[in-house]
């Protein structure tokens, strides 16, 4: 059993114009829309696939050191944080479809339950009691991943923040994070491995870009 890790930088986003946010600092982060931002990376599993082994997942998680915080926020401000690990890469348009509708049928995200190794969606808000504290309060935590085995060369990782509009805050900071995958490479029967490899190949042909 092996634990794989991938780290993401913090991001600070500023509202310089009403309902228009931009990345102020944070390595690897980019803008999707005026209120959606993403950082993406991947786990390289090429060595395992070359040995004709399938990766079986025992668990996945995300480590953070604190909740998101804000400057000048007011009760009612809200954000949604998405942590995603999947066995096929997504276009920016598909990432936005995932933000809107998750990995459910008809979402347009390009992935379903089986392709989503780990999917976590958390909603945060500011309430009247804690507005002066400076931190968001978590109000929901949803999991939509499968931990399905894969023969893919990569596990693609996306960390996304969506800012609810309108918002009073002038700055929002999402802390650094570490993605963890606990997995073991095992040999499968030839037929099962070939079919799983074909599935991984088909999924990646349209999207895989370096």
pLDDT of residue 209: 47
What is the C-alpha to C-alpha distance for residues 83 and 80, in angstroms, rounded to an integer?
10
Of 49, 58, 116, 63, which Cα lies nearest the Cα of 85? Answer: 116
* Three-class HEC string of the chain: CEEEEEEECCEEEEEEECCEEEEEECCCEEEEECCEEEEEEEEECHHHHHCCCEEEEEEEEEEECCCCEEECCCCCCEEEEEEEEECCCCCHHHHHHHHHHCCCCCCCCCCCCCCEEEEEEEEEECCCCCHHHCECEEEEEEECCCCCCECCCEEEEEEEEEECCCCCCCEEEECCEEEEEEEEEECCCHHHHHHHHHHHHHHHHCCCCC
Q: Token pair of 63, please? A: 């480590």
What does the pLDDT look like over 105-125, one tens digit per residue? 999 999 999 999 999 999 999
Band (pLDDT 50/70/90 cuts) for residue 199 is: low
Q: Token pair of 188, please? A: 């499968």
pLDDT at residue 210 greater than cutoff 50? no
pLDDT at residue 197 greater than cutoff 80? no
Give percent above pLDDT 90 in the chain.
78
122 or 51, which is more confident? 122
Average pLDDT value for residue range 134-149: 97
Model pTM score: 0.88
152 or 10, which is more confident? 10
pLDDT at residue 191 greater than cutoff 60? no
What does the pLDDT look like over 61-101, one tens digit per residue? 999 999 999 999 999 999 999 999 999 999 999 999 999 99
Residues contacting 154, CB < 8 A, separation 6+: 42, 43, 44, 45, 46, 87, 89, 204, 208
pLDDT at residue 189 greater than cutoff 60? no
């Amino acid at each position: 059993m092996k634990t794989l890790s991938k780290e993401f930088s913090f991001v600070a986003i500023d509202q310089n114009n009403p309902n228009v946010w931009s990345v102020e600092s944070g390595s690897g982060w980019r803008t999707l829309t005026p209120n959606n931002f993403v950082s993406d990376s991947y786990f390289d599993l090429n060595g395992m696939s070359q040995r004709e082994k399938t990766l079986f997942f025992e668990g996945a998680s995300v480590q953070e050191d604190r909740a998101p915080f804000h400057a000048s926020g007011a009760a009612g401000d809200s954000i949604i944080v998405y942590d995603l690990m999947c066995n096929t890469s997504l276009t920016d348009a598909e990432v936005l479809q995932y933000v809107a509708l998750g990995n459910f049928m008809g979402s347009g995200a390009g992935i379903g339950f089986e392709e989503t190794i780990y999917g976590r969606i958390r909603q945060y808000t500011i309430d009247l009691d804690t507005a002066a504290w400076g931190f968001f309060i978590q109000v929901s935590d949803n999991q939509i991943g499968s931990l399905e085995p894969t023969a893919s060369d990569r596990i693609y990782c996306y960390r996304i923040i969506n800012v609810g509009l309108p918002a009073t805050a002038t700055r929002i900071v999402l802390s650094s994070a570490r993605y963890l995958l606990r997995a073991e490479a095992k040999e499968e029967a030839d037929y099962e491995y070939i079919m799983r490899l074909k599935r991984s190949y088909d999924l990646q042909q349209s999207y895989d870009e370096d």
